[in-house]
Each structure stands twice: as C-alpha cells, then as structure tokens.
Amino acid sequence: MNRQVITVILAGGAGTRLDPLTRDRAKPAVPFCGIYRIIDFSLANCFNSFFRRILVLAQYAPASLVHHVEREWLPLFRGPGDSLIPVSPTHRSLGEKEFSSTANAVFQNWDRIASKKYHAKDILILSGDHVYTMAYGSFLEWHRAQQSAFTMCVTTVPIEVAANELGVLRVNEQNEVVEMVEKPSLENVPCIPGQPDVCLVSMGIYAGNIEQLGKILAADALDTTSSHDFGKDIIRKIIDAKLPIYAYPYTLNEMSGPWWDVGRIRSYYEVSTSMLERVPRIDLGNPDWPIGACMPSARIFGSSFDHVSIAPGVCVDDVSSISWSSVGYGVQVRKGAVLHGCHIFGGTEDGITEIGEYANLNRVICDKDVHIPPYTVIGFDRDKDAHWFRIEPLDNGEWVTVIPKGYDFCKRL
C-alpha cells in the first residue's frame, strides 16, 4: 500500500507568531529540544510508517530547512523507490510562482504528485510544524476502507484552544464531515454535542484520493474568489460536491498521544519544557520510533558533575555524581551512582549500558551492552578487581579496571 502513496509536507510557513525565532527560517525549521527541528516529527512519522516518497514544499526562508532535510534525512532514504525531495523557490521550474496558500502549494506541484513515476492512488498531506507521533499506515487503511475521497485526522481540544486558531469540524455518527469552520471566534466554535466545552479540530493531516482531489484542486485554481486554502476552501468544496469526506479520530491510531501546534512562543516554550519531564509524553528515545538518525539530547536530574563529557541519549538520575568521566551514547546512570575517572561506552546497536542504583565506579573503562547491578563497587579493591576483570597499573600505584563488552555480572554470583 505504501508504494501507492505520495506524501507532501507543507513546510513553507513564515510563522510570524514565533518571531523572532522565524526571522531567518521557516517555522518547521525552528530548533526543538536541542538537536531536532520541528519538521523532524512529520518526517519521522513518514519514515517509521514506511511512507518514503515525500515532497517537502518549502517557501519562506528555505535555506536552513532544505539544508537540514538534505543533511540529516536524505541519507536515510536509501531503499528501492525511496525519494525525499525538498522543493524550494530555487528548485522550481521557470514559470512557477510562489505558493500563495496550502492548496496552491499542492496544486503547483500536481504534475510531480500525479506523475506516472509514482503510480500513486492516494496523497498524504501533512503540516510540517506540529509535534506528535502517528502511524500513517493505519490512517491510510481507514481512509481506503471508508472509500473516502478525502479524510482528515481529528482530535478534541477545549473550545478556547480552538477559537481563532484551528479548523473546527462537525461530523455525523458515521464520522462523515458535515461542516468545517476555519478559526472561528470563541462564541462561534461548534462544540461536540453533549460536550459544550470541547470541539473537534483538524490536525492538518489529510489523505486524499489522487483522481478526485486533483479535480477539486484544478477547479479551485480557476476560482478567482478562492483563497486556495484547504481549511477555508477545499474542504467546503469537497462537501459541496457531495464527495465522501471523513474524519479519522486520532485516538484510533496505535501511535496516538499528544498533538501540539507550537505556532506561538508560549506553546513552543511549554511543549519544549514538557519534554524535560522524567517521563515525557512523547518518548524521544523510543528505539521503535526514532526521530531521525540522532539520539535524543542527554537528560539529567539533580546530579553533580565535574570535568564530564556527556553524549546524546544519556539519562542521569537523581543524586548521581560524575567526575573526570566520559559517558557514551544512550548510557543510563541510575539514582545515586558515582563515577570517577570512568569512560563508559555507549551506542544502541549492541544494547544500552546501564549503571545501577548506588553503584560506585572508580577508574573504570566499561565497554558496551553492560548492565552493572545496583550497589556494585569497582575500583577500590585491587585483588577483587583483578579476579574478575583485566586491570592496568598506573604510575601512581592505582589501576584501571576494564569491563568487556556484554559482560554478564550474573556469572559472578
């Protein structure tokens, strides 16, 4: 099924409400949680869902966005039939104009989208400036099962959140879309029947039948009264044409969780800060749903450091103490552990290394995929260390203890 889908990520927004963060970059290119960009969530959802024929439509200040996509993501798209193409003003053909709106951006690239090269039956249209996880395969299966011309992914939010900000829908009992109101005022937000404080909103995630949507977009392009926007114009025209249009509840998706529009400084700050919680609502380190090729930034809680190198993906729990040490990719240092003069190897390809609670390591080199049990003490008793591990003498009469890769501490019991 995935080979019959072409994905378009709309990444051209100027993001004026995020000024000054967007003065020199598009909103999807704004950095997030240290090592990511906002667009990485949409791209990761595509990659992990095996939807790997993608056009990224950039416009406003595209340089950093295109550079990021080409440097961080393009090397991952190596499979047969994979393609990831950033389309910016410098990449367009002569005669093409700047995108005036969301639907216009898609229509200007329709020759690419409907190309026989892709043999696509459906198009997946995504916003590149939201933070969430989603398995798009389930969404497309549901879209096709309804024999829908156009399907919108929807979630519920308080009406005050949606007012003047989001597209609000009314649906019938079969989840068919009856009405779409783009950014209504608070007094005009259509609430969910029986729930006066809650409404159903579009998440900016669409699936469309290529043939049927192509006809709607072509007609809209000729309409001089249209603003050529999906929320304001296209959805209404699909409803008026009596084509089947459905709302897919986000809660049906196996990867559903929080969905955040980070288009304002306050929401950007609050969401970014929430990622620092001990158990964040989106796990950036989930090995089954990686956000790009990078590991997440290190996460540290209430610990002390002196002359330390900490790699991405490291998690250090409360009251741990690390000095004159290096800690590699993904290493987990549990509560109360003490590392002095240690070099702990990391990396996920061989398994995560873990330093157990209140372990005390002194001058230790520890290779990958080692789980050091709680309360383990190494580096203080030379004879004991030499019995279990290789030790290397130092000039000052001390020694270095070397724990080999994959060492099983259970065999010492």
CATH number of domain containing 349? 2.160.10.10
Region for residue 351 given its phi and psi (left: phi exceeds 0; alpha: psi -120 to 50; beta: otherwise): left
| Domains held by the chain: number | 2
My answer on whether 45 and 83 are in the same domain is: yes
The DSSP annotation for 226-293 comes to: ----IIIIIHHHHHHTT--EEEEEGGGSTT----EE--SHHHHHHHHHHTTSSS-SS-TT-TTS-SSS
Within a domain: 290:
no
How many Å apart are CA 6 and CA 208, to the nearest integer? 10
Confidence (pLDDT) at 92: 57
Within a domain: 82:
yes
My answer on whether 338 and 207 are in the same domain is: no
Within a domain: 14:
yes
Within a domain: 151:
yes
Task: Give the amino acid at 129.
Answer: D
Within a domain: 280:
no
Within a domain: 37:
yes
How many Å apart are CA 287 and CA 66, to the nearest integer? 26
Within a domain: 337:
yes
Cα four-point dihedral sign 210, 214, 216, 220: positive
My answer on whether 36 and 183 are in the same domain is: yes
Q: Which of 85, 55, 51 is nearest to 70 (CA)?
A: 85
* pTM, 2 dp: 0.87
Please give the helix or strand (H or E) that residue 403 lies within, else none.
Answer: strand 399-403
Q: What is the pLDDT along the chain (413 residues), one digit of tens a residue?
A: 577 899 999 998 777 889 989 988 999 999 998 889 999 999 999 999 999 999 999 888 888 899 999 999 999 999 888 999 998 765 555 455 667 688 989 999 999 898 888 889 999 999 999 999 999 999 999 999 999 999 999 999 999 999 999 999 999 999 999 999 999 999 999 999 999 999 999 999 999 999 999 999 999 999 999 999 998 999 999 999 999 999 999 999 999 999 999 988 999 999 999 998 888 999 988 888 999 877 788 889 999 999 999 999 899 999 999 999 999 989 999 999 999 999 999 876 667 899 999 999 999 999 999 999 999 999 999 999 999 999 999 988 899 999 999 999 987 65
Answer yes or no: are the C-beta atoms of 70 and 86 closer than 8 Å: yes
Please give the helix or strand (H or E) that residue 110 lies within, else none.
Answer: helix 110-113
Between the CA of residue 336 and those of 262, 312, 317, what are the distances in Å?
A: 36, 21, 7
Answer yes or no: are the C-beta atoms of 137 and 1 closer than 8 Å: yes
Answer yes or no: are the C-beta atoms of 135 and 45 closer than 8 Å: yes
Task: Give the amino acid at 392.
Answer: E
My answer on whether 318 and 261 are in the same domain is: no
Confidence (pLDDT) at 7: 97
My answer on whether 352 and 234 are in the same domain is: no
Residues 6+ apart with CB under 8 A from 206: 123, 124, 125, 126, 150, 151, 152, 153, 230
My answer on whether 259 and 366 are in the same domain is: no
My answer on whether 121 and 222 are in the same domain is: yes
Please give the helix or strand (H or E) that residue 10 lies within, else none.
Answer: strand 5-11
Confidence (pLDDT) at 97: 61
Answer yes or no: are the C-beta atoms of 15 and 27 closer than 8 Å: yes
Burial (CB count within 10 angstroms: exposed 0-12, middle 13-18, buried 19+), residue 97: exposed
Between the CA of residue 213 and those of 114, 123, 334, what are the distances in Å?
A: 11, 9, 53
Q: Which of 150, 118, 143 is nearest to 52 (CA)?
A: 118
Question: Residue 276 is encoded by which pair of tokens?
Answer: 């620092």
My answer on whether 196 and 339 are in the same domain is: no
Q: Phi and psi for 95 in degrees, rounded to 5?
A: 95, -20
Does the bond joining 20 to the residue before it have cis omega, within 30 degrees of 0?
yes
Q: Which of 258, 274, 290 is the last residue of a domain?
A: 274
My answer on whether 78 and 175 are in the same domain is: yes
My answer on whether 269 and 364 are in the same domain is: no
My answer on whether 354 and 266 are in the same domain is: no
- The β-bridge relationship of strands 371-372 and 150-158 is unpaired
Within a domain: 279:
no
Domain that holds residue 26: 2-274
My answer on whether 306 and 378 are in the same domain is: yes
